[in-house]
Structure 1
């Protein structure tokens, strides 16, 4: 006879805890988005990350990302006559969906597509120049 009582008590407890977990506390205000915390105060993205450090981070994420970025850097220097800055590489990687040529180079590296990598290197666009 004790089992139905325990079962009903457990269901009651579970129902109460679920309802309690879904009810937000009314007296705890959310922080305003413009308020900075000690953790975020003074932290700004830097465009001064050394290229070697950025490439090392890419390697940790995925070796193909580093290899694709290195191919992109080399192709950019050949086509545009100057090296790509670390800030430009970061923007090519992160703006929107990323530079299509860079993303394709990363994919080609991942797939081991040497011919595709060579073809994609010719699609690099130089800022301020008409496409060749």
Structure 2
């Protein structure tokens, strides 16, 4: 998991720079929000496994909770504490190409609260 820390921190810096340009008006409803495709693209630049694991997480949320996450919700899942354990596990399982772990983790999605 420590191997993922540096890329994830680099992602937060890259997203922070991209998400809040100095010229962006603060009053817009989407200030600080970047499109999901851009967020996933940044993940792919840092680690293809991070993007793959995150896409699996998004699909599992849609399947189990019958809704899509916003980019802001995904960013929280990445950053709250040590990150959502299911999301972090899916990223790790993607890195290891562990199909069994990916399937098991995809079943552990919780729909209550912010998910």
Taking a change above 3 Å as real, the CA distance of residues 119 and 53 of structure 1, as seen in their structure-2 partners, is same
> What CA distance in whole angstroms lies between the structure 1 residues aligned with 2:112 and 2:76?
13
Moved over 2 A (4+): 40-44
Unaligned runs of 5+ in 2: 1-20
> What CA distance in whole angstroms lies between the structure 1 residues aligned with 2:38 and 2:45?
11
> What CA distance in whole angstroms lies between the structure 1 residues aligned with 2:45 and 2:61?
23
Alignment equivalent of 1:100, drawn from 78, 85, 96: 85
Alignment equivalent of 1:72, drawn from 45, 57, 61: 57
Instruction: Point out which structure has higher relative CO (alpha carbons under 8 A, 6+ apart).
Output: 2
Shift of 1:96: 1.3
Taking a change above 3 Å as real, the CA distance of residues 42 and 96 of structure 1, as seen in their structure-2 partners, is farther
Taking a change above 3 Å as real, the CA distance of residues 81 and 41 of structure 1, as seen in their structure-2 partners, is closer
Taking a change above 3 Å as real, the CA distance of residues 41 and 70 of structure 1, as seen in their structure-2 partners, is closer
Aligned residues: 90
Shift of 1:94: 1.1
Which deviations, in whole Å up to 9, do the C-alpha atoms of 1:34-90 show, x marking residues without a partner?
xxxxxx96778x542000000000011111100010000000001101011111001
Kindly report which structure 2 residues correspond to 1:89-128, keeping only aligned pairs within 5 A, or say none. 89-128=74-113
Shift of 1:115: 1.1
Corresponding residue of 1:83: 68
Corresponding residue of 1:57: 42
